[in-house]
Amino acid sequence: MLSMQTVISQLRTEGYLNNEVTDSELETLLAPDPNTIPWYIRGAVGLSGWIAALFIVGFVIVGLGTMYKFTESALILVLIGTGLCMAMTAVKRYWLESIFIGQTSLAINLAGQLLIIVGVGAETEEIIATAIATIVLQVIMIQIYPDPIQRFLSVLMIVGALFVLMEEWKFYEAIHLLVIILATISLIIWAVDSKFVSRNLDAISRPIGFGTVVALFGLLIISTLEDSHVVYWWFSTSGLLLLLLGLMAYITHHAEFELPQSMLIGLVGGTVLLTLLTAQAPGIMAACLIVILAFWRGDTILMGVAIAFLTLFISAFYYNLNLTLLQKSLMLLASGGVCLGLRYFLKSTANEN
């Protein structure tokens, strides 16, 4: 293993460091923080917080169940849930760096939210009112509760509530609009991630960014189901195509380089051809969009999520094809040949320029 002094000397030799900063100052600057807690210790402490919270939540739920049985008042559930959320928000803000207290307060806070939602549902006996209350509650939680897991889950619950509203109103094709909105939000958040970091807003932007990506893929899983009420999935595919072409143009402009015309035609033509072949499988286009975005931003977690869902959507697309096994095999062979040919074309074009 190379020593820190060897690395600094090599950087000076290659001209990446000037002589104004001494080696001792650089070693102090680059040295790891001795107070950093290893990930496995953080995980164990967090798990212990959830275990402790489960006992507390169980005690509260049993007590509230008994109270509700005698009073039959949903308002009590809402009031106590609100009290738990407010108390745990104050605890989290006061002990912001404590892993144990943070995970314990998160679990109790989620239980408080559940009590509010159940209380609203029991009081109104309306799914629509409960879904709207869930959306309002999660929007508030994103703002006041400083925890990435809470903000990630809040995005998922908001999208889930919106989906419930579409189902209740039988406005099934509105899912295409929601897909495009989620994909657009994901692009905006991850494309300007450095600006959020520079303004210390990444604690909010990144959980929301991951939440919108996972929610996007979750909605598009519906396109792989045969008994779905949604019919015209090519609406979503077309919108995702426009976003993908816009992302390619933005990356080219941001990187300040011009692609050769032949390569540009090949990329655009290949993207459009992929859209035509997978018009009823928008998950493939969405996964390709996020893979390119993650590769450009250099986020390995986002890329891993996108590749996992890309594998899922391609497998579902292959399984749902109304073809024989021989025809599917020939399609796979042809697809592989097209990919190899496109790679050769792009590589040769790049070498010529």
Half-sphere exposure (Cβ direction) of 114: Cα atoms closer than 13 Å: 12
Q: Do residues 50 and 104 make contact, with C-beta atoms less than 8 angstroms apart?
A: yes
The predicted structure's pLDDT at residue 1: 46
The Cα 110–Cα 85 span in angstroms is: 8
Q: What pLDDT, on the 0 to 100 scale, is given for residue 216?
A: 95
Residue pLDDT, tens place only, 301-314: 899 999 999 999 98
- Output the pTM of the full model: 0.78
- The distance from CA 189 to its chain's CA centroid, rounded to whole angstroms, is 11
Among 300, 296, 305, 312, residue whose Cα is nearest residue 187:
296
∠199-205-206 over CA atoms, to 5°? 115
Nearest CA among 205, 199, 164, 166 for reference residue 185: 205
Question: Domain residue spans in the chain?
Answer: 41-170, 178-320
Spatial neighbors of 199 by CB under 8 A, at least 6 apart, are none
**Quick count: other Cβ atoms within 10 Å of Cβ 18?**
7
- For residues 316 and 281, the answer to whether their CB atoms sit within 8 Å is yes
pLDDT digit string (tens) for 201-226? 888 999 999 999 999 999 999 988 87
